[in-house]
């Protein structure tokens, strides 16, 4: 007999931190009265497959246990052929991994007793998602969905370093040092940006397309983002130099970089965003690198229902 809750656990999240913490975490949930089934993943993409099966079968709550990458995989299981799967399933995020950027936007708890209280209360809110269509390694068309933030430019290179095994102390410090190392060899790229029906040709360090506020280990890159307004927040870091980055790092962490004082940083709201470049650039989708530019980013209003406090 199945329960109402399925928790999909990625034991490799956070360089194995999730796997080490999960037995005690799960025991605390059960001791608090949370009844659930669990599935442990063993390979990339399996969380999406398990979540999709659960959503199609009508499981009321499908939860991701791991980091932001695990959450993204599970959230992708709520979609099929680029569209939300009809039904009553709700998404839950239990952070045991490296990043934890998504949880910051919603005040999601990390203490297992508080997580248990959240699951038992069963409160939820309807949120947006994003859809990315980009180019795969063989030139094929790749479609992914994101719940937090997607970007291209230097962010993809930083993520390539982090996902390649670079890790220091915790997620925030890891991302900060990886960004610093990447900046030393990075050169800004020519890009073409189309925001709804407005086109811009520019030299940029990074283009961020956000549903929520935080990414890269606590950087508040899109402080004006609302995950239920039906729009994507677009933050363009233009032709910034080393001095610009040193001066602006704390402003981005605090979310004060959109004060209009730096003309190299632009901010837009949009339903669709297109980005292309004459040079190869990765597309970062919720902490994963599914493909390359050119890419189309689209808002999907009210596509998910999230369990939250």
The rounded radius of gyration (Å) of the Cα atoms in the chain is 19
Residue with tokens 């933050």: 235
Examine the fold and report which residue of 84, 105, 122 is the final residue of a domain before the chain moves on: 122
Q: Which of the four pLDDT bands, split at 50, 70 and 90, describes residue 155?
A: confident
Predicted TM-score (pTM) of this structure: 0.90
d(CA 124, CA 307) in angstroms, rounded, equals: 4
Same domain (yes/no): 77, 146 = no
CATH value at residue 173: 2.60.200.40
Q: How many domains does the chain have?
A: 2
More confident position, 253 or 223: 223
Residues 211 and 232 sit within 8 Å (Cβ to Cβ): yes
Same domain, 154 and 109: no
Q: Which residues pair with 153 in a beta bridge?
A: 206
- Do the domain assignments include residue 307? no
Q: How many CB atoms lie within 10 A of CB 230?
A: 13
What pLDDT, in 10s, does the model give residues 110-146? Answer: 999 999 999 999 999 999 999 999 998 888 899 999 9
Q: Is residue 232 part of a domain?
A: yes
Asked if residue 157 belongs to a domain, the reply is yes
Residues 99, 175 share a domain? no
Select from 122, 154, 171 the last residue of a domain: 122
Which residue would you say has higher pLDDT here, 143 or 17? 143
Tokens coding 198: 């407005």
CB atoms within 10 A of CB 176: 18
Give me the domain span that covers residue 238.
130-301
Same structural domain, 249 and 139: yes
pLDDT value at residue 179? 63
**Pair 205, 106 in one domain:** no
Of 95, 122, 149, the last residue of a domain is 122
Instruction: Note whether 92 and 172 are same-domain residues.
Output: no
User: Distance between CA 96 and CA 5 in Å, rounded?
Assistant: 18
**Do 270 and 157 belong together in one domain?**
yes
CATH of the domain at 76: 3.40.50.10330
Query: In terms of pLDDT, which residue wins out, 188 or 97?
Result: 188
Find residue 274's DSSP bridge partners: 194, 296
């Amino acid at each position: 007999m199945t329960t109402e809750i399925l928790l999909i656990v990625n034991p490799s999240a956070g360089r194995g931190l999730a796997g080490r913490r999960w037995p005690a975490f799960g025991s605390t949930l059960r001791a608090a009265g949370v009844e659930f089934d669990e599935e442990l993943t063993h390979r990339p993409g399996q969380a999406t497959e398990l979540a999709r099966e659960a959503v199609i079968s009508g499981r009321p709550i499908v939860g991701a246990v791991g980091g932001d990458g695990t959450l993204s995989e599970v959230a992708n299981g709520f979609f099929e052929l680029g569209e939300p799967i009809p039904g009553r399933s709700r998404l839950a995020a239990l952070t045991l991994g490296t990043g934890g950027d998504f949880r910051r936007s919603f005040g999601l708890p990390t203490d297992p007793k508080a997580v248990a209280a959240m699951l038992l209360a069963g409160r939820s809110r309807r949120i947006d998602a994003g859809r990315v269509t980009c180019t795969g390694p063989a030139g094929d068309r790749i479609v992914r969905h994101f719940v937090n933030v997607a970007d291209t430019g230097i962010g993809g290179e930083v993520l390539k370093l982090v996902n390649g095994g670079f890790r220091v102390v915790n997620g925030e410090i890891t991302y900060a040092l990886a960004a610093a190392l990447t900046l030393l060899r990075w050169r800004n790229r020519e890009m073409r940006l189309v925001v709804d029906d407005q086109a811009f040709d520019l030299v940029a360090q990074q283009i961020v397309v956000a549903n929520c506020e935080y990414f890269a280990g606590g950087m508040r890159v899109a402080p004006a983002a609302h995950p239920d307004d039906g729009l994507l927040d677009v933050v363009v870091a233009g032709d910034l130099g080393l001095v610009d980055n040193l001066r602006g790092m704390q402003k981005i962490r605090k979310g004060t970089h959109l004060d209009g004082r730096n003309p190299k940083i632009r901010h837009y709201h949009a339903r669709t965003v297109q980005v292309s470049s004459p040079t190869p650039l990765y597309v970062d989708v919720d902490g994963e690198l599914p493909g390359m530019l050119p890419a189309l980013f689209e808002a999907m209003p009210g596509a998910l229902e999230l369990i939250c406090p």
